[in-house]
Amino acid sequence: MIAILASMLVATVDPCAPIEPAAVRDPGGAAAYRKVGDEERAAGSPETAAMAYRSALARDPSDAASRRALHELCREAGGAFLRGIARMDAGDLRGAIAAFREARAEAPDPSAALAQGVCHYELSEDGEARAALREAAAAPAHREAAQFYLGLVALRDGDSGEAARLLDSAAANPGFAPAASDLARLARRSGKLVFSLLAESGWDSNAQLAPGGTPISTASDGSLGATATGLFRPRGESGPYLRGTGLYRGQARFGDLDFGGVSGAAGWQVGHADRGLLGEYNYDYRLLGGSSFVSAHRLLVGGWIPAGLLTLAASYFARFESYPAALYAPFSGTLQRTEGTVALRLGRSGRLALGYHLARDGVERSELSWTEHGPGAELRVALTPRLQLGINTTVSLRDYDAVDPNLGLKRSDTYLDAVALMELDIGDRFTMRFSLDGRKAFSNDAPFDYVRIAPTLGLAYIIGM
């Protein structure tokens, strides 16, 4: 984005290079070139102007007017604004900002203000970005570009209404319309307060919802469910947040597997999508078949940083689970999981992430406690601005701690999990979702081998304020 903007703002030129005189002096030809140089300079094209003046001087080294004009172009080319653009191009955003400040100190310069605002935005210095971009927006030539970036700043700040307004304005310029329209839609779904409601219906080839290892027979079933979530981020993306969720899923055949619950989380994120840190406390309470199923407290920390073309991320959580019902009580304990991922952007609309996880579930009985590890991969592609596809696959190699006296062996399982997801935005606030979950479980104890397939179709409504 920066390189494109820089190329929009300035063309490269070196008017100061030495001039090779022509073999024959030609003052008439020099005058013709000088005239073109004057026209090009007046048109705001220093590169071609310099070329014309240089041709004039090659034909007539005594052409004082061309020499003077070329000298001025040479001095301008070394000016603060062009230095800023060069530093911006080289990725030295701090150096670029210093140069743009220098350019703006000499005289009001909307181009320098725009470029400086973009640099501040890239450095997540939103206050400074806003001030510079507002100055640039006053110039008609930069109005939509400045509004576009002001919209991005507002979006990051969680001010969804202002972001949508600015991005809608920027979208009036056909050159910004595609990106600005998509982001305006995103703005309407984000903000300091975001509510979402997801209604979905699915079928599960193995609907028995029991903690891993309980040998209950499998049976397929359909379900209808709804999930409501509220997210409050008073300071935008970076800062504290509260999240609450309520969910319910009713089974078509097995009423004892009706599932519901509530969750509440409080966390703090420092940084944005490009780099950040996150800490969160979460509480889950779940009902199964109308009875209390599990109560769990979870502590989560995570972080992500850019590394060249890649994004490196790591997370860890500890979940303290308590199963009150006698059947599941032996599964009470602490689940811990840590994961590292490396993500690569694929063009402007795709992302591939590869990761590896390590998990440990230490429960009341050692034959039910396990350690698990394995690789995973996720591919997300936006086929169009409104249609996204995702595929996630994980391999988990799980070993239990001790021989299960009921089974007469120490279990060792392998799980192959895959999820395919398609999301289609059908309006500013509505999204259709179709997902297909699959699992193949292998175990050294044959009854624990199974296959599970679960397609789900849902409709989500999301509103940001």
| Closest CA relative to residue 145, chosen from 303, 2, 38, 279 | 2
Q: Quick check: 4 binds another protein (CB under 8 A)?
A: no
Please pick, from the candidates 23, 107, 127, 174, the single residue that binds another protein as defined by CB under 8 A: 174
CB of 50 or CB of 460, closer to another protein: 50
Angle, helices 177-188 vs 160-170, to 10°: value is 160
- Mapped to the 3 state alphabet, what secondary structure does 306-368 carry? EECCEEEEEEEEEEEEECCCCCCHHHCEEEEEEEEEEEEEECCCEEEEEEEEEEEEEECCHHH
Which region among 170-178, 308-316, 339-347, 399-407 touches another protein (by CB under 8 A)?
Answer: 170-178
Site string for another protein, 111-140 (x = CB under 8 A): -----------------------------x
Q: Residue 166 Cβ, how far from another protein at the closest point, in Å?
A: 13
Q: Residue 461 Cβ, how far from another protein at the closest point, in Å?
A: 24
Q: Quick check: 425 binds another protein (CB under 8 A)?
A: no
Q: Quick check: 25 binds another protein (CB under 8 A)?
A: no
Pairing of strands 239-251, 412-425: unpaired
Return the residues of window 285-304 that contact another protein according to CB under 8 A. Answer: none
Please pick, from the candidates 16, 48, 185, 247, the single residue that binds another protein as defined by CB under 8 A: 48
| Size of interface with another protein, in residues (CB under 8 A) | 25
Q: Quick check: 258 binds another protein (CB under 8 A)?
A: no
- Amino acid, single-letter form, for residue 178: P
Q: Quick check: 36 binds another protein (CB under 8 A)?
A: yes
Q: Quick check: 29 binds another protein (CB under 8 A)?
A: yes
Q: Quick check: 55 binds another protein (CB under 8 A)?
A: yes
Q: Which two tokens stand for residue 381?
A: 């592609």
CB of 40 or CB of 63, closer to another protein: 40
Q: Quick check: 417 binds another protein (CB under 8 A)?
A: no
CB of 43 or CB of 307, closer to another protein: 43
Which region among 29-37, 267-275, 342-350, 428-436 touches another protein (by CB under 8 A)?
Answer: 29-37
Compute how many other C-beta atoms are within 10 angstroms of the C-beta atom of residue 189: 20
Site string for another protein, 265-284 (x = CB under 8 A): --------------------
Please pick, from the candidates 35, 68, 71, 75, the single residue that binds another protein as defined by CB under 8 A: 35
CB of 8 or CB of 242, closer to another protein: 8
Residues in the chain: 465
Q: Residue 48 Cβ, how far from another protein at the closest point, in Å?
A: 5
**Contact assessment for residue 422 and residue 382, using Cβ atoms and an 8 Å cutoff:** no
Compute how many other C-beta atoms are within 10 angstroms of the C-beta atom of residue 1: 12
Please pick, from the candidates 43, 90, 325, 383, the single residue that binds another protein as defined by CB under 8 A: 43
Q: Quick check: 47 binds another protein (CB under 8 A)?
A: yes
Q: Which two tokens stand for residue 153?
A: 């700043």
Under DSSP, is residue 425 helix (H, G, I), strand (E, B) or coil?
Answer: strand
Under DSSP, is residue 61 helix (H, G, I), strand (E, B) or coil?
Answer: coil
CB hemisphere CA count around 240 (13 angstroms): 4
**Distances in whole angstroms, Cα of residue 107 to Cα of each of 111, 148, 327:** 11, 24, 77
**Contact assessment for residue 77 and residue 71, using Cβ atoms and an 8 Å cutoff:** no
Angle, helices 143-156 vs 177-188, to 10°: value is 30
- Which residue do the tokens 């501040």 mark? 120
Which region among 38-46, 68-76, 218-226, 278-286 touches another protein (by CB under 8 A)?
Answer: 38-46
Q: Quick check: 76 binds another protein (CB under 8 A)?
A: no
**Contact assessment for residue 68 and residue 30, using Cβ atoms and an 8 Å cutoff:** no
Q: Quick check: 405 binds another protein (CB under 8 A)?
A: no
CB of 165 or CB of 360, closer to another protein: 165
Under DSSP, is residue 235 helix (H, G, I), strand (E, B) or coil?
Answer: coil
Pairing of strands 221-232, 430-443: unpaired
Taking the C-alpha atoms of residue 121 and residue 138, their distance in angstroms, rounded to an integer, is 18
Q: Quick check: 148 binds another protein (CB under 8 A)?
A: no
Which region among 30-38, 246-254, 404-412, 450-458 touches another protein (by CB under 8 A)?
Answer: 30-38
Residues near another protein (CB under 8 A) are 11, 29, 32-33, 35-37, 39-40, 43, 45, 47-48, 51-52, 55, 140, 168-169, 171-175, 177
